[in-house]
Amino acid sequence: MKKIDEYQGKKVLVMGFGISGINAAHLLVKLGANVTANDKATPKNNDIVDDLEADGIKVITGDNPISLANEGFDVVVKNPGIPYDNPLVAAFVKQGTTIITEAELGWQIFDGHLVSVTGSNGKTTTTTLTQLMIAENAKHQVKYAGNIGISFSKIAEDLGPDDTLVTELSSFQLLGALTIHPHIAIITNIFSNHLDYHKTRENYINAKLNITRNQTKDDFLVINWDRDEWQKIAQRSQATIVPFSRLNKSHEGSYVEDGMIYWRGQEVMPTKDIRLIGPQNVENALAAIAAAKLSGVTNDAIKKVLTTFSGVRHRLQYVMEYQERLFYNDSKSTDIEATEVALQGFDRPVILLAGGLDRGYTFERLVPYFKKHVKAMIVFGECKDKMKDVGNQAGVPVVESENAITAVPEAWKLSEPGDVILLSPANASWDQFPSFEVRGDKFIEAVEELTGKKEQ
């Protein structure tokens, strides 16, 4: 941990009691700040409040009182999920108060080698693969943190100058990233996500590009080269560009040719040996390989990881096989693009479980994927009528169900040996579940109840 004094005697407000917010509040006390912690909700667990107050932190719950804007805070550390049009946040913006996220605080105390990953899809898998590959050859600690569910600042406290941290950073986190400076930054792809938060696609792209804003020519931006738009986006970075591509050969980075993965013209391994299924995971592997090779990782270490790693929970996660049916949990597919790539990963008939929060999107672009890959659909949630309409357009039998749990036995009734039963909702979970993780866990529990087996 790097010793810094910029918070000594400063008045800091931490907004949000998530894992990152609580860790940030305690860290700021160690850094000498006068800390107030605020959450709009009242925690059900009193231990959270007790622990904060025991550390000398003033705690305010049950509201985001606008009066806090008049208390002279020097810095606000905001939960990434709190939008900037929140009245209290908007008041701080109007005042010109410095607003950061916990990831920025983590960077300020971090004293090692930073690799950061962002993108619309594939972030967590790419982050995990990168960390595993670098760790295979490392003599020092290699950890991951960030949007992957582990506090950046908490991990950064325990790392030294020779250690490496691989961080997954969301667009929400990057909006509050002022000085973050990864030596290697990765952009997996950019689609049109979270426009309810960012309002426009350009705002969303600009947030993603904060990952490379402080990079120089001595740093590296590893970026997907499979679309012209992403190639143009790369031109906005000052870093040395390292492309990865499943479709376009580029000797400057990692790419696929005739079923073989190459790094700058040298063979690494066949794509067929990657244990993760689907073209999207070839792309994730290419991104991780580029970062790993830039970090000095050997081909043998890369091969070991890619031939053994079976996936991140909720991200096209293999659950089990039962009576010749394969169950997959892809609850993290909260947008259309993620479901598209998930379906492309299977050469067996798919019983698709889909639906969720209605954000106003339409799903006609899924029709050709349904025609090619989907045998039947179980739809649920606010979007079930829209999903049903698209299924009908594709000529796919559709059954309505209450949610992702009740959909499991319905899918089983429609399945035959050789089929895949896939939860890949194409929608967020918040109409029925607090998170995609809970939705995925409940799906797995339903599969276990149906089969009498535990996930593998």
- 259: domain CATH number is 3.40.1190.10
DSSP H helical ranges for 268-329: 279-294, 299-308
Burial class (CB in 10 A: 0-12, 13-18, 19+), 328: buried
Is there a single domain that holds both residue 128 and residue 210? yes
State the CATH number of the domain containing residue 21. 3.40.50.720
In a domain, 3, yes or no: no
pLDDT confidence tier of residue 16, bands split at 50, 70 and 90: very high
pLDDT confidence tier of residue 43, bands split at 50, 70 and 90: confident
Q: What is the pLDDT of residue 192?
A: 76
Q: What is the pLDDT of residue 9?
A: 97
In a domain, 1, yes or no: no
In a domain, 456, yes or no: no
Q: What residues make up the domain containing 70?
A: 11-100
The number of distinct structural domains making up the chain is 3
What are the distances in angstroms from CA 433 to CA 13, 88, 438?
Answer: 30, 27, 6
With a cut of 80, say whether residue 249 has pLDDT above it: yes
Is there a single domain that holds both residue 72 and residue 220? no
Give the model confidence (pLDDT) of 400-456 as tens digits: 999 999 999 999 999 999 999 999 999 999 999 999 999 999 999 999 999 999 987
Q: What is the arithmetic mean of pLDDT over 226-254?
A: 95
Is there a single domain that holds both residue 167 and residue 292? yes
In a domain, 246, yes or no: yes
With a cut of 90, say whether residue 115 has pLDDT above it: yes
In a domain, 221, yes or no: yes
Task: Count CB atoms within 10 A of the CB of residue 72.
Answer: 9
In a domain, 237, yes or no: yes
Whether the Cβ atoms of residue 32 and residue 9 lie closer than 8 Å to each other: yes
With a cut of 80, say whether residue 220 has pLDDT above it: yes
Is there a single domain that holds both residue 95 and residue 72? yes
The Cα 424–Cα 340 span in angstroms is 9
With a cut of 80, say whether residue 221 has pLDDT above it: yes
Is there a single domain that holds both residue 117 and residue 218? yes
Question: Which of 261, 287, 308 is the last residue before a domain boundary?
Answer: 308
With a cut of 90, say whether residue 198 has pLDDT above it: no
The Cα 266–Cα 329 span in angstroms is 35
Q: What is the arithmetic mean of pLDDT over 357-374?
A: 94
Is there a single domain that holds both residue 304 and residue 230? yes
pLDDT confidence tier of residue 5, bands split at 50, 70 and 90: very high
Is there a single domain that holds both residue 328 and residue 271? no
- Higher model confidence: residue 212 or residue 149? 212
Is there a single domain that holds both residue 282 and residue 162? yes
Give the chain's mean pLDDT: 95
pLDDT confidence tier of residue 206, bands split at 50, 70 and 90: very high
Q: What is the pLDDT of residue 103?
A: 96
Q: What is the pLDDT of residue 283?
A: 96
Is there a single domain that holds both residue 280 and residue 367? no
The Cα 62–Cα 64 span in angstroms is 7
Nearest to 318 by CA among 288, 342, 293: 342
In a domain, 402, yes or no: yes
User: pTM for the full model?
Assistant: 0.82
Is there a single domain that holds both residue 163 and residue 135? yes
Question: Which of 100, 120, 138 is the last residue before a domain boundary?
Answer: 100
Give the model confidence (pLDDT) of 78-112 as tens digits: 999 899 999 999 999 999 999 999 999 999 999 99
Nearest to 315 by CA among 278, 261, 271, 355: 278
Task: Count CB atoms within 10 A of the CB of residue 278.
Answer: 17
Question: Which of 72, 100, 128 is the last residue before a domain boundary?
Answer: 100
Is there a single domain that holds both residue 160 and residue 296? yes
Q: What is the pLDDT of residue 250?
A: 82
- Higher model confidence: residue 372 or residue 196? 372
pLDDT confidence tier of residue 311, bands split at 50, 70 and 90: confident
In a domain, 78, yes or no: yes
Q: What is the pLDDT of residue 289?
A: 98
State the CATH number of the domain containing residue 442. 3.90.190.20
Is there a single domain that holds both residue 335 and residue 303? no
